[in-house]
Amino acid sequence: MKYLAPGVWRLKELPRPLINVYLAGDVLIDAGRRWDKRRIFAELEGREISMVALTHVHPDHQGCAKAVCEARGVPLACHAGDVDAMEGRRPVAATTNPGAKFFARMWEGPPHQVDRVLQEGDEVADFRLVHAPGHAPGEVIYFRESDRVAICGDVIRNCTYVTMRTKLAEPPDELTPDPVENRASIRKLAALNPSLILPGHGPAVTDIAAFERFASALPG
């Protein structure tokens, strides 16, 4: 695991961080793709976890949720807006775009009961929940007031998906039901004045001035 901030690690992925899974205290935040089971279980070996908490329910973030929860006997948490998707009552695919459907077939994990339904302001592992929809109805930011660390799911990404080059960007429109609402969520992230941003894709964002320029340049 890579240490990122007090009590926060990113699980290893080679050759570079592309689909991020974090450990905050004893809470696993996100669960990768279905085929990430081996690396997630290997990284968690010898560590106690108390919960799996999702930033949102898309195939590359919920893939191993059921497997981890059942193997460890721990509850699953996600925002109320994504409970239906996690429990199998609506599609997990981000949109009806053919690419989104392809990724769902490749990566999606099985449905699983959500034991803790999260809402704005709830606390998970000393992080406050900030609802940040647009990319997904139940997208959230986990924000820690004490040091302003933000785990932001796919509100932003910090890589290109083809070359994996580090680059701040919005999530792709074809995988985002409401890009305009997601831009509002990016501005909400900026308003938190984070000191470190941990996205769902790509390395940690440490150049906060660059992120602020990116956020301020977004169209309305």
70-116 pLDDT tens trace: 999 999 999 999 999 999 999 999 888 888 888 889 899 999 999 99
Whichever domain contains 75, its CATH number is: 3.60.15.10
41 pLDDT exceeds 90? yes
163 pLDDT exceeds 90? no
Note the pLDDT of residue 17: 86
Print the domain residue range for 25: 2-216
Sign of CA dihedral 146, 152, 155, 160: positive
**Which three-class secondary structure state does DSSP give residue 189?**
helix
26 pLDDT exceeds 90? yes
**Which three-class secondary structure state does DSSP give residue 28?**
strand
- Distance, CA of 216 to CA of 14 (rounded, Å): 33
Q: Where residue 15 falls among pLDDT bands split at 50, 70, 90?
A: confident
Model pLDDT for residues 45-75, shown as the tens digit of each residue? 999 999 999 999 999 999 999 999 999 999 9
Please check whether residue 149 is in contact with residue 198, taking contact to mean a CB–CB distance below 8 angstroms.
Answer: yes
Q: Tell me how many domains the chain contains.
A: 1
